[in-house]
Amino acid sequence: MSKLTQSRRSFLQTAAFAGAAGLTGSFPGISWSAEGDTLTVRFDREMESLDPGYYVGGHPANDVNWCLMPALIYFGDSDSGWVPSPYVESIVVTDSTHIDFTLKKGFMWSGDNGELTAEDVAYSFERMKDSEWKGDYVAFDRVEVKDSHSGTIVLNQPFAPFVSLTLASGTGIINSKKALEAVGGKYTTEPPATCGPYVMEHKQAQWVKMRPNPNWTGPKPAFANIDCIFVTDSESGALAFEAGELDCAKITSSAYARYQKELPDNAALTVAGALQYMWMGINTENPKLADPNIRRAIQMAVDVDSIVAGAYSGTAEKSSGIICPGLVGHRSAPGYPYDPVAAKALIDEAGASGLKLTLRTLNAQERVLAAQIIQANLAVIGITVEIIPLDSGPFWEMGQESKGDTWKDMELHIMRFGAGPDPYEATQWFVRDQVGIWNWERWSSDEFEELYAKGIAETDSAEREKIYVRMQEIMEETGGYVWLTHEPEVFLHRADLDAHFAPTGEMQLASFAPK
């Protein structure tokens, strides 16, 4: 991709075309969107809520919140690291249950909501205990406010992920106590008060525009303006990048494979982390799948290498569990082999040859392709699979008992979750309480529950490694899981743009800068 300059010749060419087409309008030259002081990025969906207690998914809520709202720490450049935010003078983990912090003075909330204080921190964290993200605050007890700008976060038990997961992610966002109380303690897409380097304008289903906050006293971001355009279709996002209208766009695996072969001029790819885990779930309570030998056979019959190659063009990493690469507890290989001959023998032994099963999947290109490969794999061992592709609405409800009766009919399903940079977050969806909510494989284990509680409190990395490896082994032993991939979050952006991403895949827009 080259920069278009509007020379006299190109102007005449343009004008000639316009004349030929019978158009009278003028065509101003297209320039790089980040030229000057405006950064333009793609948001792949509309914001549903910016409230840290009630947002759904990390993107785009966190991308926006990190520009508007204070936090004590941010994710650093490495996958597991963190850095103090510009709002804090100091933050020190004094022991396994106490974190001291001191805020810098002079950060003012919008409106008549005064200065950012330790009371705001205490109020913001306290309300999270009753929010939809209370799981991140399971070990949070209170904030002891020392003075207007300093305090101590007190945990009720050692909780290793509190800093790396809770405080650094979107749930660590701080709100103005005064402003939030004035609107009833909850909000959706309009924060009652903001305090970050930017202020926000929002046009529903069109864009979010960040403009400089005149009251900002922290370090000035490299881009004065950030335009976030809602481009729901991924391919349109890639095309818009190639046309020079976006500086950064999240792309699909297929586009990633395409761009790996040939990148446009002045373009670069960044893999923002592979903190997603995809698996094929097997409903262990379904009568057709009650025999553990059948589930074991299915595990051994699926050729994951073919899925990585065929559905993801080799861009995704082969999975061996729910703990993503680079995290404590990640396993290098699954505990079962790919062995269709042994799988067929197990099916014959179980007398299940000719078994007919349904495989439900989100109607997305890569997942449907993965489902088709699995369909072919299972046909080899005598299982006929009917693929049921579903739109996101019915898909995300099908295993939830509160959303109808589909969970009773579920047999096989392809599922993908995103994770934070700590193994605790991935394991929380598979405990006993989650059966019928997010544990769609519908199993439970006393040992798993014990290890889950132990993992929360354990701070020693070696011990945590053992705990989380064992927890994945337990999951695997149920026969409810065929580990598939860790799909990367990939961004296509200008090569001369220093782009920053959280390990969870959100854009840290305020840190973007020209190279």
Partner 1 sequence: MWWYLLKRLGLSVIIVLMAIAVLFVMLHSIPGDPVSIALGPRATPEIQAAYAEKMHLDKPLPYQFLIFVSSVLQGDLGTDVFSNRSVGLTLAEQLPYTITLAVAALGWAIILGIPLGCLSAIWPNSWIDRVTGILSVGTIAVPSFLVSIWAILVFAIMLHWLPVIGAGDEGDIVDQLRHLILPAFAVGLGWVGYLARMVRASMLEVMGENYIRSARAFGLPARVVVFRYALPVAILPTITLIGVGFGGLLSGTVFAEIIFSRPGVGRIIYDMVQARNFPVVQGAVLVTIALYVIVTLISDLLVSWLDPRVRDSL
495 binds partner 1 (CB under 8 A): no
Segment interacting with partner 1, rule: CB under 8 A, options 62-70, 150-158, 185-193, 498-506? 185-193
203 binds partner 1 (CB under 8 A): yes
Residues in Cβ contact with 360 at an 8 Å cutoff, skipping those fewer than 6 apart:
388, 389, 390, 395, 398, 410, 412, 413, 414
Reported residue count of the chain is 515
332 binds partner 1 (CB under 8 A): no
* Choice from 19, 36, 45, 92 touching partner 1 (CB under 8 A): 45
Q: Which parts of 101-130 interact with partner 1 (CB under 8 A)?
A: 130
H helices present in 21-142, as ranges: 61-68, 118-128
449 binds partner 1 (CB under 8 A): no
Query: For residues 492 and 280, is the Cβ–Cβ distance under 8 A?
Result: no
The smaller minimum CB distance to partner 1, of residues 49 and 306, is found at 49
The smaller minimum CB distance to partner 1, of residues 158 and 436, is found at 436
| Structure tokens belonging to residue 307 | 């899925």
* Choice from 17, 105, 156, 349 touching partner 1 (CB under 8 A): 17
| Structure tokens belonging to residue 5 | 């300059």
CA gap 486, 316 in Å, rounded? 6
49 binds partner 1 (CB under 8 A): yes
Segment interacting with partner 1, rule: CB under 8 A, options 93-101, 166-174, 225-233, 465-473? 225-233
Residues in Cβ contact with 324 at an 8 Å cutoff, skipping those fewer than 6 apart:
273, 274, 275, 276, 277, 330, 419, 426, 486
CA gap 144, 497 in Å, rounded? 41
Q: Which parts of 384-413 interact with partner 1 (CB under 8 A)?
A: 391-394, 397, 400, 402-406
* Choice from 95, 205, 261, 287 touching partner 1 (CB under 8 A): 205
* Choice from 38, 46, 86, 417 touching partner 1 (CB under 8 A): 46
Token pair 């009278």 is found at: 24
Q: Binding pattern to partner 1, positions 226-265, x when CB under 8 A?
A: ---xxxxx-xx--xx-xxxxx-------------------
- Tally DSSP H helices, then E strands, for the chain: 16, 21
For the bound state, the minimum distance from the C-beta of residue 204 to partner 1, rounded and expressed in Å, comes to: 6
CA gap 133, 131 in Å, rounded? 5
Strand ranges in 133-224 using DSSP code E only, listed in sequence order: 140-147, 150-155, 198-203, 207-212
27 binds partner 1 (CB under 8 A): yes
Binding site for partner 1 (CB under 8 A): 4, 14, 17, 23, 25-30, 45-49, 56, 130, 132-133, 188-190, 203-207, 229-233, 235-236, 239-240, 242-246, 391-394, 397, 400, 402-406, 437-438
